[in-house]
Structure 1
Amino acid sequence: MKDANRPVSSRRELFKDAGRIAAASALAGVAVPSVHAAGSDLIQLALVGCGGRGTGAANNALSTKSGPIKLVAMADIFEEKLWRSYKNLAEDKDLQGKIDVPIDRQFIGFDGYKKAIDSLKKGDVVIFTTPPAFRWVHFTYAIEKGVNVFMEKPVTVDGPTSKRMLGLAEAASKKNLKVGVGLMSRHNRAMQELAKRVHNGDLGEIILQRGYRMHGPDGYFHSLPTPQGMRELYYQISRFHSFLWASGGNYSDFYIHGIDHLCWMKNAWPVKAEAVGGRHYRKSPEGLTYIDQNLDVYSVEYTYADGTKFIYDGRCMDGCEGRYASFLHGSKGSAIVSKAGDVGQPSSIYKTQSMKRPDLVWESKVAPEERDPYLNEWNDLIDAIRKDQPYNEAKRGVEASLVTSMGRMAAHTGQEITFDDMLNCKHEFAPGVDKLSADSPAPLQADKDGKYPIPNPGITTTQEY
């Protein structure tokens, strides 16, 4: 591919009423005709946010087989990150002929998303894989331009942006835009079959749900004081797991998958959450103090409207037993939803609560070509675009994000937090995120000792976390 070996240094120097109000404000005066790729028409892609998840999403999109598809634009605020992503995609032998991103369609800066979307035609697809703080900003512009969207999870981190995104979700549907959200568990064929069986009563009444994600420090934990010469805003975005304004922290980013797919099995969203959590080891191997805003352990008890309990435990600590799985307990038996990870296969049902092999009554069997839920979600989205079928996962993505934030807020404040509390909480972590530029101060400022606010349950109020 042209420019494939050019070195980095050579590159160019949310519920209906509230939702309707938010959408009307964000999209006042916009009238975009519905135009979509059909049949064998070429679908063009733009990637906004070129980290590992964005590169993976672009790869999955380009691996669909239903018709011609091509990546034509990329955007990020970090030049090196964009170039690394481009190089990885351009050098992938399975993607030859599908990468057409010359240097004049590689956009660096906070307005790069607009330029990338402007490179598309109506009915093409933009991929949003930046930190979620920017999701509503980018989604607004995509809707204005009549472009289909795939956005990574979570899609919101607080109440005001959730209301805003609910309005935008409705606006996208009115324009017949297709919207995918990266909650790939919903596209796990094993889980889809399990959900059908659970909803048909194979487990009887659900009496308890359990989810776990426990492993060593990952992502956020390596945030140390801002490197000399690096702007604070850029540092916080580069370490977005550490900062609640950018990502909702590790709780929102890590645990949303398990929370989402267990709520799917129940076919409901919890109405309230109570939680405990704590911070423990704050030193790096070099003796430096970590500065993130996360807790190291979380244990959240969600409650559904019918009183059913859902327990989610998370831990990011070295030397502890790892566990990454999800389970159901019903009046007729039990089930393993995910054996390992967010989408670990197979899913299975047991006639007792033991979850042991002799009691197995059903186990999923999925064809090899449908075992990758990351690819499945793209096949489903692109098929909907080509066939012009209704397809919008944005509302569900907002609700899953809101329920996840509800658990985080319960742990960070030490208070019971209801779904309505979370939705109507007036605190917005980064109200000016749509106006950020290279020279802007970071939404969060450190104190005189270089430390950032941390959760103080019982002291921190619900307006702050």
Structure 2
Amino acid sequence: MENNSNRRNFLKSTTAAAGVAALSSTIARTAHAQGSDQIKFALVGCGGRGQGASQNIFKTEGNTKLVAVADAFHKKASDAVSNLSKANPDKVDVPADRIFSGFDAYKQAIDAVDDLDLVIIATPPGFKPQQFEYAVAKGKHIFMEKPVASDAPGVRRVLDAVAESKKKNLMVGIGLQRRHEAQYKETVQRIHDGAIGDVICQRVYWNGGGIWYRNRTEDQTEMAFQTNNWYHFNWLSGDQICEQHIHNLDVGCWVKGEYPVECNGMGGRGLREGGDATKSQIFDHTFCEYTFADGTKMFSQGRHLKNAWNHVAEFAHGTKGTADPSGSIQGENPFEFGRKGRQQGHQQEQHDLIAALMRGEIYNEGEYGAHSTFTAILGREACYSGKVIKWDELMEKGKDLCPGIDEYTIDSDPPPSAMPGPDGKYPVPVPGEYNPFA
């Protein structure tokens, strides 16, 4: 019972607890087996990824229970509870008074249960900085999906909160799941150990056929329409390069062991929603040339185009060979991970997170989550502007896509950069005219 009490104190703790962190995995497993170390979590953001992350948590060895949910839309929140309850009746305890909706619902969900341990944040990226900041302030462990923000001020806000989370000894997991897959970890480690020599060039791709689009309904305010259709608005998603291509950019920076110092790029949206700017404002293709401090390059392609070459992958070229970080190396030190032992990242990242909590251990992925997000933002701003953009300048002076976001409601106007003009068209960045600093 004393050990069980210590485990609960660890999960609730908002400061470092050295004695609890030293708990052996044998004690943790025994406590779990007795069913007395329940990990209670709240879900903020009840779409497909939020429900998916919850399902992944339920499949871990932890004694986990969902106790509160929040979403901008009540139906989405209540539907999530219904869906998750049907599949996991013993893992969900969310009565009607712990189903919250609205832009401030995340606060209610985080505060709903006094002994809440963990918060899952799976909302549109534009909203994440304020939600992450609040969860840290409340001393909760956090898993947050990528990307963690949509603009430079949001990244800075997340980095400040990450610093606070470290002071409080909080777990922070970020949904860049390739970093948890055995095939990636093994291959990247071999690259770091010199298997391909000096890395001199990388190629990363997220070329796909497209993404969902949700038509406007008559009862929606402009803010409700954009929030429900969040992928298609820069302030909410950060564009395709942030929302999806971040995975490949993150792998490239992981392989290199550093982040780029500048980027130039190009892109456009000629075919997005048939070229109809009354429906969305994001690009349908980007191409970036990232430069690292030593002058080496990472070339990036991101695209949504039907009936074209689709490819999602990463490649590293070195002085002694070439690597596919997902599991193979060719050259002087060939390697093939093979089929056996490969892991599905969305599940593995939750296995790792819950197992660490059960052992009384902490890891914090917040910094690389924020920096990989900013790598994508750097590329987007280079493509939008058509200019060479420096990392340091953009981090310091990059434009705020959602000023005053803490005060937004479902009835507010979206930020000026996303408001439709008199012709109903949304502002679309024009290279050569777009200013990333104003």
Q: Give TM-score scaled by structure 2 length.
A: 0.89
* Cα distance between partner residues in 2 of 1:203 and 1:184: 24
Residue from 410, 419, 436 that aligns with 2:391: 419
Indicate how the Cα distance of structure 1 residues 229 and 400 shifts in structure 2: closer, same or farther if over 3 A, else same.
Answer: same
1:71 and 2:44 matched: no
SS, match of residue 334 in structure 2: strand
Indicate how the Cα distance of structure 1 residues 336 and 33 shifts in structure 2: closer, same or farther if over 3 A, else same.
Answer: closer
SS, match of residue 325 in structure 2: strand
The answer for the alignment partner of 1:16 in structure 2 is: none
SS, match of residue 307 in structure 2: coil
1:305 and 2:278 matched: no
Shift of 1:281: 2.0
| Alignment check: 8 A CA contact 1:402 1:422 kept | no
1:361 and 2:334 matched: yes
* Cα distance between partner residues in 1 of 2:276 and 2:380: 26
* Cα distance between partner residues in 1 of 2:330 and 2:104: 52
1:324 and 2:308 matched: no
How many aligned positions are there?
410
Residue from 193, 197, 214 that aligns with 2:190: 197
1:144 and 2:134 matched: no
Indicate how the Cα distance of structure 1 residues 112 and 275 shifts in structure 2: closer, same or farther if over 3 A, else same.
Answer: same
Point out the more displaced range, 35-44 or 410-419.
35-44
One-letter code aligned to 2:170? L
Indicate how the Cα distance of structure 1 residues 420 and 439 shifts in structure 2: closer, same or farther if over 3 A, else same.
Answer: same
The answer for the alignment partner of 2:56 in structure 1 is: 60
Q: What CA deviation, in whole Å up to 9, does each residue of 1:35-87 have, x standing for no partner?
A: 8898331100110000000000011111110x311111111121221222222
| Alignment check: 8 A CA contact 2:285 2:302 kept | yes
Aligned-pair Cα RMSD in Å = 2.1
Superposition pairs for residues 333-412 of structure 1, below 5 Å? 333-338=321-326, 347-351=327-331, 361-365=334-338, 368=341, 371-412=343-384
Residue from 259, 263, 279 that aligns with 1:269: 259
* Cα distance between partner residues in 2 of 1:133 and 1:204: 39
Indicate how the Cα distance of structure 1 residues 454 and 327 shifts in structure 2: closer, same or farther if over 3 A, else same.
Answer: same
Shift of 1:223: 5.9
Which blocks of at least 5 consecutive residues in structure 2 are unaligned? 1-12
| Alignment check: 8 A CA contact 2:110 2:116 kept | no
Shift of 1:120: 3.5
One-letter code aligned to 1:158? D
| Alignment check: 8 A CA contact 2:74 2:101 kept | yes
Q: Give TM-score scaled by structure 1 length.
A: 0.84
Shift of 1:290: 5.1
Indicate how the Cα distance of structure 1 residues 434 and 283 shifts in structure 2: closer, same or farther if over 3 A, else same.
Answer: closer
Point out the more displaced range, 56-65 or 433-442.
433-442
1:461 and 2:427 matched: no
* Cα distance between partner residues in 2 of 1:172 and 1:122: 18
The answer for the alignment partner of 1:97 in structure 2 is: 90
Q: What CA deviation, in whole Å up to 9, does each residue of 1:277-327 have, x standing for no partner?
A: 12222555xx96653222221110001111111001111111212112111
Which blocks of at least 5 consecutive residues in structure 1 are unaligned? 1-30, 339-346, 353-359
The answer for the alignment partner of 1:113 in structure 2 is: 106
The answer for the alignment partner of 2:8 in structure 1 is: none
1:88 and 2:59 matched: no
SS, match of residue 400 in structure 2: coil
SS, match of residue 324 in structure 2: strand
Identical-pair percentage = 38
